[in-house]
Amino acid sequence: MHVFHNESPREQAILRDELKNLAASAGAFVVDELAQQIDDPRAGTMIGKGKLEELRDRVALTEADLVIFSVDLTGSQVRNLEEGVNVRVIDRTQLILDLFAHRAVSAEGKAQVKLAQLSYLLRAIPRKRTVARRRGCAPASGDTLSRCGWHDVL
Separation of alpha carbons 89 and 77, rounded Å: 9
Mean pLDDT for the stretch of residues 54-77: 93
Considering only 23-37, 51-65, 81-95, 105-119, which range has the smallest mean pLDDT?
105-119
| Whole-number percent of the chain with pLDDT over 70 | 80
Taking each helix axis from N to C terminus, what angle separates 9-25 and 92-103, rounded to the nearest 10 degrees? 30
Q: What is the pLDDT of residue 136?
A: 54
Q: What is the pLDDT of residue 6?
A: 87
Q: Is the pLDDT of residue 152 over 80?
A: no
Rounded mean pLDDT of the chain?
82
- Split at pLDDT 50, 70, 90, the class of 45 is very high
Q: What is the pLDDT of residue 146?
A: 42
Taking each helix axis from N to C terminus, what angle separates 75-85 and 125-134, rounded to the nearest 10 degrees? 80
Q: Is the pLDDT of residue 131 over 70?
A: no
CA-wise closest residue to 64 among 89, 96, 37: 89
Separation of alpha carbons 25 and 65, rounded Å: 17
